[in-house]
Amino acid sequence: MSTNSGVVFKNVSKLFDDFSAVDNISFEVKSGQLITLLGPSGCGKTTTLRMIAGLELPTSGQIFIGGEDVSNVYAAGRSVGMVFQSYALFPHMTVMQNICFGLSDKSKDKAETLDKAHVVMRTVGLKNLEHRYPSELSGGQQQRVAIARSIVTNPKVLLFDEPLSNLDAKLRRQVRGDIRDLQQELGVTAIYVTHDQEEALAISDEIIVMKDGNIDQKGSPKALYQYPESPFVANFIGEANKVTGQLAPSEKDSEALFSVNGKTIFSYAKLKQADLLNKSCDAFIRPNAIVILDEASAEDNSFTAKVLSAVYMGSYVEYMIEAEWGAQLFMIDYSFNEPCEVGSSIQVKIDHRGVSIL
Ligand code: ATP
């Protein structure tokens, strides 16, 4: 693959009549990175992807692929491969014919075309299936044909538009791993669209979270999960309980104390915003940051809570609890302990590593 295949958006907007689907966004995808556009339905992910593909042109702003300004170049003039959620395979063509379709205009040499197709078939694990028709393949195999067809032309950039939505949950996990492995093996720049946050966290170097045609936050999966910069990102990437309270200085310089109605709930060690001290602020607490303590063991800043509901999910138990200081909290317990009974009183503490204060 090309060494310079990065994608750059500079102040790009897309209007449909007077509706702004994408509103003045700027970002960079470095060569060889896999970046995911993540966000709720209608936030502008697909429009952004289609502008990279050249299926839509921007209303204003500039798009660069491999350093070249392609803002006014349609799809045929860009070196981009695209994998759609419907796979878009030709049903009357065999696997081999589907894969060679994109090459037919570009290579006049039939033997060379077949050689290339065999190489990509091996790469995506489709050996010996060249004579089958799409209807004779599993969903996962059809997806591999779609991927093979998109990489056989050696594109600078590979685009994936919700490629797993037609697969069942188990297969999704496997195919998303295969896509990530293949992308890394080829070293190709990839941009992936999904509304599934788990999928985005699992495969991406970086995630761009979009909302209403804008970029809300861009960062690595870990940075977005641990340091969300807005309530929207805190809720969209993993769940979070919002609790309004106050941050007060602690005796330790590096710490602050979060309290609700005068009761200290937890000490907070990653305080970046000194301007939040002594003011009302919101803590976003992850469900797995609320930890059940052994019976009757009270630690610093632990508190009692009443179990309002308990749902056994096999590898974890989901609880709604009511803290003694008033808030109702959703929590998840991954331990092997017996589920707590509804109506019982439990002792819990909050692990500040699963909290963001905004
Ligand atoms: P989804 O996850 O549902 O596919 P999305 O985030 O990909 O959503 P887009 O398809 O990019 O969203 O659409 C963004 C907005 O632009 C939506 O409100 C949509 O209705 C609008 N839109 C998209 N394409 C067109 C078009 N061709 N004409 C008019 N409006 C459009």
239-270 pLDDT per residue, tens: 899 999 998 887 777 778 899 988 888 887 75
Task: Evaluate: CB of 39 within 6 angstroms of ligand 1.
Answer: yes
Does the beta carbon of 45 lie inside 6 Å of ligand 1?
Answer: yes
pLDDT 10s digits, 276-297: 778 888 999 999 999 999 876 6
The alpha carbon of 97 and the centre of ligand 1 are apart by a number of angstroms equal to: 32
Q: What is the mean pLDDT of residues 23-27?
A: 97
pLDDT score of 105 more than 60:
no
Using pLDDT thresholds of 50, 70 and 90, give the confidence band for residue 349.
Answer: very high
Q: Which residues lie across from 158 on neighbouring strands?
A: 81, 190
| Domain layout of the chain by residue ranges | 7-235, 239-357
56 Cα nearest atom in ligand 1: 27
Q: CA–CA separation, 8 vs 22, rounded Å?
A: 15
What would the CATH number be for the domain defined by 239-357? 2.40.50.140
Mutate to test the pocket of ligand 1, among 46, 52, 161 (most ligand atoms within 8 A of CB): 46
Burial of 164 (0-12, 13-18, 19+ CB in 10 A): buried
Question: Above 60 in pLDDT, residue 1?
Answer: no
Number of H helices, E strands in the chain: 8, 20
Confidence at residue 117, expressed as pLDDT on a 0 to 100 scale: 85
Ligand 1 atom nearest 46 alpha carbon: 7
> Residue 51's pLDDT is what?
97
Q: Whose CA is nearest to atom 3 of ligand 1?
A: 41
CATH class as words, domain 7-235: alpha beta
Instruction: Give percent of the chain above pLDDT 70.
Output: 95
Atom from ligand 1 closest to the CA of residue 17? 29
**If you measure from the C-alpha of residue 47 to the centroid of ligand 1, how many angstroms do you get, rounded to a whole number?**
6
Task: Give every CB contact of residue 223 below 8 A, 6+ residues apart in sequence.
Answer: none
Nearest CA to ligand 1 atom 20: 42
Q: Which atom of ligand 1 is nearest to the CA of 193?
A: 7
* Residue 238 · residue 225 · CB < 8 Å: yes
Measured distance CA(12)–CA(269) in Å, rounded:
38
pLDDT for the residue 352: 86
317 lines ligand 1 (CB under 6 A): no
Task: Determine the pLDDT at residue 22.
Answer: 98
Residue range 93-107: mean pLDDT, rounded: 79
Query: In this model, does residue 178 exceed pLDDT 80?
Result: yes
Q: Is the CB of 47 under 6 A from ligand 1?
A: yes
Cα 225 to Cα 121: distance, rounded to the nearest angstrom: 36
- Residue-by-residue DSSP string for 120-174: HHHHTT-TT-TT--GGGS-HHHHHHHHHHHHHTT--SEEEEESTTTTS-HHHHHH
Q: What is the pLDDT of residues 291-318, one digit of tens each?
A: 999 876 677 788 999 999 999 999 999 9
Is the pLDDT higher at 22 or at 252? 22
The torsion angle over the Cα atoms of residues 341, 342, 347 and 353, rounded to 10 degrees, is 100
Residue pair 96/133 in contact (Cβ under 8 Å)? The answer is no
Predicted confidence at residue 2, as pLDDT, reads 46
Residue partners of 17: CB distance under 8 A and separation at least 6: none
Instruction: Give the Å distance between the CA of 300 and the centre of ligand 1.
Output: 50
d(CA 74, ligand 1 centre) in Å: 19
